[in-house]
Amino acid sequence: MTAGDHERRSARHAVVTGTSSGIGRAIAERLLAGGWHVTGIDRAPPDWTHAGFVGLQADLAEPHALIAQLADLGTVTALVHAAGYMRVGRLGELMPDSGEGMWQVHVGAAEALATALAPDMGEGGRIVLIGSRTANGSAGRSQYAATKAALTGLARSWAIELAPRRITVNVIAPAATDTPFLRDPSRAGTAPVLPPMGRFVDPAEVAALTAFLLSPEASAITGQTITICAGASL
């Protein structure tokens, strides 16, 4: 291992999923600007570079295949699971493959990553799961809502288990966020409603909250779901 490799591995190191675009990329860029080393996990090879960023190509729909690829990551300080996608459909039209696929990416990947990384996290480790305000329920999005609601159960359970080690686990639940995901053609029948503030959530705002939850100042916040909604919940 070179001196440079040692320095990078000993620094704050976050594993972030979904760094190719949207919220995941905004989080990676925010952490890199703050001096973190980031390992990004995406299905496609990364199309951007940074001295502190390493891209790992993996299909989160097969989360347990990730485990072997995580062995050489070194010490991991934080896990941020931001990857996700939405398939819509009303009751009577639901496709089992859509529900199972979203469950694997949103929930199965979170389980696989946390199971692999949390046991070796030191005191002050952090886990942040990117959920959705839709977890409260939304017509035409029941399968998606169910997978995002499950993240709260995971986070609260893990928070209890990891509290003695002072590792925190939280969920950030954005409302409609201005990303390519917002304009996914598959959402055409369930277009998001503009929040009362007259704008959608900015990915940078989700990234800023993530950075705070990963900071020492947030060390007493755990087991919480924090909503960013531009007034949509009011």
CA nearest 229: which of 206, 212, 211? 206
| Cα torsion 147, 150, 155, 158: sign | negative
CA nearest 55: which of 23, 25, 81, 75? 25
Class of residue 158 by CB neighbours under 10 A (exposed 0-12, middle 13-18, buried 19+): buried
Residues 27 and 177: beta-carbon distance below 8 Å: no
User: What is the rounded distance in angstroms from the CA atom of residue 112 to the CA atom of residue 49?
Assistant: 26
Element (DSSP H or E) covering residue 22: helix 22-33
User: What is the rounded distance in angstroms from the CA atom of residue 65 to the CA atom of residue 79?
Assistant: 17
Residues 103 and 39: beta-carbon distance below 8 Å: no
The set of catalytic residues is: 144
